[in-house]
Amino acid sequence: GENVEQHPSTLSVQEGDSAVIKCTYSDSASNYFPWYKQELGKRPQLIIDIRSNVGEKKDQRIAVTLNKTAKHFSLHITETQPEDSAVYFCAASRGSSASKIIFGSGTRLSIRP
Amino acid sequence: SQTIHQWPATLVQPVGSPLSLECTVEGTSNPNLYWYRQAAGRGLQLLFYSVGIGQISSEVPQNLSASRPQDRQFILSSKKLLLSDSGFYLCAWSVLPSGRVSYNEQFFGPGTRLTVL
């Protein structure tokens, strides 16, 4: 079955700097890659996703890249702000109606003022 | 628009007691439904998922069970809770591609924080 590995497990960056979180997946049939942000005590929220027919997607300060050949994808946050502090989860799915989403283990991002 | 409800929000139960957590979705039909558990400071563990009424797939062997008596209702149960059942229980839904919703976008409910003492 699918396995998603996520690195690093913790990340601390200076406010205003960039943060990068990387994930690898094992199932070559996966074609949908969402990212979730979970603030302390709250539910995970979908912040951005990418499908296998594109290599990059951007939404304001966040961007995701996908390398299907190497089976890895990354989340990039630029100009980090204190409100970016949270746990981020990557995930992979085959995208069909009956499939599961396999989550990475999470990255705890801390933004230093 | 679609919304997802979970109750109760918090629960403190003694070891050995029964459990029933409920999740309902509004504004969509025939959703896929999921139960996850998140231990403190940990990742998301998929417990059960359902693609239709009465159809339940179990991901891990445990003392929990799930049922889907109605299209938009998903229930997580236990006959006897263990200390290790403590955690943050999240229900989620996804739908087939329709309009602006991408395939398999999953949306989470607000969660139930369960403490077993």
Separation in Å, CA of A96 to nearest CA in chain B: 7
In this predicted structure, what is the pLDDT of residue A97?
58
CB-CB neighbors (< 8 A) of A43 in chain B:
90, 108-111
In this predicted structure, what is the pLDDT of residue B101?
45
Q: Are strands B32-38 and B45-52 parallel, antiparallel or unpaired?
A: antiparallel
Q: Is the pLDDT of residue A71 over 90?
A: yes
Q: Tokens standing for A9?
A: 């497990």
One DSSP character per residue, B10-79 reads EEEE-TT--EEEEEEEES-SS-EEEEEEE-TT---EEEEEEEETTEEEE-S-SSEEEEEEETTEEEEEES
Q: Is the pLDDT of residue A95 over 70?
A: no
Minimum-distance CB partner of B102 among A49, A89, A104? A49
CB-CB neighbors (< 8 A) of B104 in chain A:
32, 93-97, 99, 101
In this predicted structure, what is the pLDDT of residue A101?
87
One DSSP character per residue, B67-94 reads EEEETTEEEEEESS--GGG-EEEEEEEE
Minimum-distance CB partner of A46 among B49, B51, B105? B105
Cβ proximity of A13 and A86 under 8 Å: no
- pLDDT-derived band of residue B98, with 50, 70 and 90 as boundaries? low
Pick the residue of A97, A103, A107, A110 with the most B CBs within 10 A to test the interface with B by mutation: A97
- Chains A and B form CB pairs within 8 A to the count of 55
A31-65: per-residue pLDDT in tens? 889 999 999 999 999 999 998 888 999 999 999 99
A61 to A12, A15, A16, A58, A76: CA distances (angstroms): 17, 13, 11, 8, 8
pLDDT, average across residues A90-95: 86
Q: Find how far residue B56's CA is from the centre of its chain.
A: 12
Low-confidence winner among A65-74, B8-17, B97-106, B107-116 (lowest mean pLDDT) = B97-106
B73-84: per-residue pLDDT in tens? 999 999 999 999
Q: Are strands B32-38 and B87-94 parallel, antiparallel or unpaired?
A: antiparallel
Chain-chain contact of B108 with A34 (C-beta, under 8 angstroms): no
In this predicted structure, what is the pLDDT of residue A100?
82
Minimum-distance CB partner of A100 among B42, B49, B95? B49
Q: Find how far residue B28's CA is from the centre of its chain.
A: 17
Minimum-distance CB partner of B51 among A42, A97, A106? A97
In this predicted structure, what is the pLDDT of residue B60?
80
